[in-house]
Amino acid sequence: MTQINVAGHLRKMQTLLNDTVEYTLLIGDDAISMNSLLGKKISLNYSGLINCIHCDRKTKKSFSQGYCYPCFQSLAQCDSCIMSPEKCHYEAGTCREPEWADQNCMTDHFVYLANSSGVKVGITRGNQIPTRWMDQGAVQALPIFRVSTRLQSGLVEVLFKEHVADKTNWRKMLKGEVDDLNLLAVRDQLLEKTSESISELQERFGIQAIQAISDAEQLEIKYPVVEYPIKVTSFNFDKNASVEGTLMGIKGQYLILDTGVINIRKFGGYHIEFAA
């Protein structure tokens, strides 16, 4: 096998839904097919340099998975309403970047159920399906509502969060300890419990703005994993600049090595030397 040696700033891995998810690691201008490296020795070494993934300025510390502090403070995509969409303040006229919001927030979103470490509810833009689910390491997913804005998706999500989780147990996900679920049945149970509150939102925004999806099929997703870890130990470039081991699998945005796991997305903008 040809030796691979590349260096550059890290980006989150690209995914392609196939029989098994196909992963591409992006380092600088290089794109590395990772599935072919399963069972091979790899190494990632952090040089100590970080560049903002938005403006490219050098930064001593990364915020919100790859941004410098000025961008973290000024960009709409780094605002608290991105993590909590029910807090959207676009209509109040205080959005950091209204033009960005017009394209990314004031557009159709989907509320979905996913199974990455057990059933959870989440939201995403239509153009992020199924990427969002693969990035979370979901083995099953089902869209349940289509809504007109990010705010509305957040309000629907809040109703479901009273009954199911909205976060992934990443350690459980990486251990592969995930039981198969019937998300269609879970959806029907949740709709029954929230029907009155959903109706109130439809009265507020209009029935066309919040539409239940009745004909979606449950998506099954398989990941390239040779062996799941019994115990999950995570690497952190801020504490240890060198990551080495045999690549045993890839799930979510994690590389699973026989020596530990590394969350690639967490270290966006870090300058890495990669070898395989």
Query: Do 199 and 170 belong together in one domain?
Result: yes
Q: For residue 109, what are the contacts with CB-CB under 8 A and spacing of at least 6?
A: 85, 123, 124, 125, 126, 146, 147, 148, 149, 150, 152, 153
User: Residues 168-223: pLDDT tens digits?
Assistant: 999 999 999 999 999 999 999 999 999 999 999 999 999 999 999 999 999 999 99
Q: pLDDT by residue (tens digit) across 206-215?
A: 999 999 999 9
- On whether both 22 and 122 belong to a single domain, the answer is no
In the chain, how many domains are there? 2
Residues 131 and 259 occupy one common structural domain? no
On whether both 85 and 121 belong to a single domain, the answer is: yes
Distance set, CA 28 to CA 65, 159, 249, 267, 271 (Å): 16, 41, 23, 13, 8
First and final C-alpha spacing in the chain: 9
Q: Which residue has the tokens 């269609």?
A: 184
Give the domain extent around 90. 71-219
Q: What is the pLDDT of residue 1?
A: 56
Same domain, 244 and 111: no
Q: Is 96 in the same domain as 122? A: yes
Q: Among the three residues 195, 219, 243, which one is the final residue of a domain in this structure?
A: 219
Q: Are residues 198 and 241 in the same domain?
A: no
Structure tokens at 71: 């961008």
Of 190, 219, 248, the domain-final residue: 219
Indicate the residue among 219, 235, 262 that finishes a domain: 219
Summarised one tens digit per residue, pLDDT across range 80-131 is 999 999 999 999 999 999 999 999 999 999 999 999 999 999 999 999 999 9
Consecutive H or E run containing 74 = helix 69-74
Residue 10: strand pairing partners: 27
Same domain, 54 and 177: no
